[in-house]
Amino acid sequence: MPVLHSAPKFASNDGVLETLSAALGAMLLSGVEQHGELVLTVARDRIEGALRLLRDDHEYQQLMEIAGVDYPSRPERFEVVYMLLSVTKNHRLLVKVTAAENTPVPTVTTLWPNAGWLEREVFDMYGVIFAGNPDLRRILTDYGFEGHPFRKDFPLTGYVELRYSEEDKRVVYEPVKLAQDLRQFDFMSPWEGADYVLPGDEKAAEAAPPPPVATPKTTEAKADTGAGDKANDKAAEKVAAPAPAKATDGKDAGAPKETDSRPAKEDDK
C-alpha cells in the first residue's frame, strides 16, 4: 500500500529566494543559489531573529547541523553555517554569518535545543564564541587541550600529546615528539611529475651541458684503438676456460675435506 505524504518528492528552488529575501528584509545581507542550494548571509547580530522567522513563518522546522569555515585572509575570518530542513516542503536552506576571533555570535539554543551541542563543536574546532550558550565547553578534544584543531593556523602536530603513565598511575601530558620529520604531501600523481623544482634539482639545472663532439671516436680498425699490434693480436685470441678438475671418485677436487665435528651422512657412506 503506497504511503502518501504532503511533502513533495522533489523540491524546487523556484521563487524561494525572492520570497525569503522579501521576508528577511534588512536582516539579509546577500542571497545566492550555489550548487543547487540556496545560501543566505544574515547579519550576525540578527541571526536569532532570522532563524526564528524561517522556523515559524516559512516552515523550516529542523536545525540539521551547524558548521564552521575558516578564511584566515578575511577580516572576519570565520563563517558559521546553519543548515535548515523543512519537513513539510522537503526543502533545505543554508544560512550563514561571519565572525572574527573576538566577535561573539548570538546563540540559537533558544530556538533548537540541539544547537547547544552543535555550537560547542564549532567552538571547540574553530574557537568561535557563542554568546548566551549556557554550556560552552569543549566537546571533541580532551581536557586541557590548547588551541582549536580546524583553524588553518593551527600546527599540524598539535602542542601536547597524552599517554597513561604506569609510574604516576594517571594520564600525563607531554610535548609532542615526532619519530621522523613531518612530511609535506602535495597529493600529485607520481606519473605526471611535480610542477616545481625538487630539492637538489636546482644544481642540475645550473650545471653547464657538456660540449658537443664534432667527430665521434670509433674503433673500426686496429689502428683506431691506439694500443698497438701486440695488444690487438692478444685481444683477438679466443681462449676457452678449462673444465673443472674431477677426482677419481667423481667428487669435485676443489671441495674441502670433511672435519671430525661434522657427522657422516648416509649419502657419503
Q: Where are the beta strands (DSSP E) in 122-263?
A: 130-131, 160-165, 170-175
User: pLDDT by residue for the chain (269 residues), tens digit each?
Assistant: 566 667 677 788 999 999 999 999 999 999 999 988 999 999 999 999 999 999 999 999 999 999 999 999 999 999 999 999 999 999 999 999 999 999 999 999 999 999 999 999 999 999 999 999 999 999 998 877 888 999 998 877 777 788 899 999 998 888 877 665 555 555 666 566 666 666 666 666 566 777 777 777 666 666 666 667 777 777 667 666 666 666 666 666 666 666 656 666 666 65
- DSSP label at 221? S
pLDDT at position 249, please? 63
C-alpha cell belonging to residue 156? 599540524
User: What is the helix, strand, coil percentage profile of the chain, to 5?
Assistant: 20, 20, 55
**62 phi/psi in degrees, rounded to 5:** -110, 140
Which pLDDT belongs to residue 240? 66
The pLDDT, as a whole number, for residue 241 is 66
Q: Judge whether 131 and 105 are in contact, CB under 8 Å.
A: yes
What's residue 146's pLDDT?
81
Q: Which helix (H) or strand (E) holds 40?
A: strand 37-42
Q: Judge whether 130 and 107 are in contact, CB under 8 Å.
A: yes
Q: What is the pLDDT of residue 70?
A: 96
pLDDT at 258: 62
pLDDT of amino acid 181: 58
- Closest to 150 in 3D by CA, of 76, 94, 83, 77: 77
| pLDDT for the residue 87 | 92
**All 3 cell numbers of residue 210?**
657538456
pLDDT for residue 2: 66
Cβ pair 97, 79 in contact under 8 A: yes
What pLDDT was estimated at residue 201?
Answer: 67
41 with 29: CB under 8 angstroms? yes
Report d(CA 161, CA 176) in Å as an integer. 5
Nearest CA among 187, 82, 99, 108 for reference residue 151: 99
Strands (E), the chain: 28-34, 37-42, 62-70, 78-86, 91-99, 105-106, 130-131, 160-165, 170-175
Whole-Å CA distances, 178 to 181, 183, 253: 7, 11, 59
Q: Are 79 and 151 in contact (CB under 8 A)?
A: no
